[in-house]
Amino acid sequence: MMVSRVISDSGLKICESGAAIDIRLPWYRSLPLSTVEIGEVRIDGQLVSPLAMTFEVNNKRYALDQLADKCDEWWYVLDSGLIHIINLKLERGSQHEVSVTVGIRPPYIPGFYRLTECTKQLNAE
């Protein structure tokens, strides 16, 4: 089921601003960002503050609380999204338990809210 693909295999990346987690949309079709919520993110059990994260889709980065306004910015179903964690320093090759919760509200099913939680052991690459 798609839940196991929320976090991509080899999805923990070291980048200039810190670290990034490669995630996938847990639904069969593209959705506007306004219907997507990035919920709890944990690295090795430690909750990451939402203020320390941004979310990147289509080469654009958003603060997590900006997503709700992005009614016309689409997350195509085959694309990865990147959760950037600012200033998180990871050693290349080190292993970490990464946990991400994503909520979606498919816009054609009023009142339906689906929360998916995915946890993987990943090496920082």
Partner 1 sequence: MMASNSGLQLGVTLFSFTNEFHSRQYTLEQLIAKVAELNLGPGIEIVGFSSVRGFPVVTDEFAANFKELLAKHNLKPACLGLNADMYKNPNKPMTPDESLAYHEAQLDATAKLGFPVGRYQFLAGTDVIHRLLPKAERLNVKLGLEIHAPEHVNSPIVMQYRELYAKENSPYLGFIPDFGSTARRVSPAFISYFRQLGLPEALITLAEEMWLSKDDPNNPTAKIPEFQARAKAAGFRPVDIAECFIVFGLFSRQQPAAWREIMSQIVHIHGKFYHFNEDGSESAIPYEEILPVFVEGGYNGYMVSEWEGHFLCDDGGFAKVQKHQELCRRILAGCGAQNAVTS
**Binding interface with partner 1 (CB under 8 A):** 1-2, 4-5, 24, 28-30, 32, 34-35, 68, 71-72, 74, 76-78, 105, 107-108, 110, 113-115
Query: How many CB atoms are located within 10 Å of the residue 117 CB?
Result: 16
**Pairing verdict, β 95-104 and 36-43:** antiparallel
Q: Which residues of 81-97 are buried (b: 16+ CB within 10 A; e: fewer)?
A: bbbbbeebebeeeeebe
**C-beta of 14 vs 27, nearer to partner 1:** 27
- Asked if 59 contacts 82 with a C-beta cutoff of 8 angstroms, the reply is no
**C-beta of 58 vs 123, nearer to partner 1:** 58
**C-beta of 1 vs 89, nearer to partner 1:** 1
Encoded tokens for 83: 């959760």
- Write down the least CB distance from residue 57 to partner 1, Å: 13
- Write down the least CB distance from residue 56 to partner 1, Å: 17
- Write down the least CB distance from residue 66 to partner 1, Å: 14
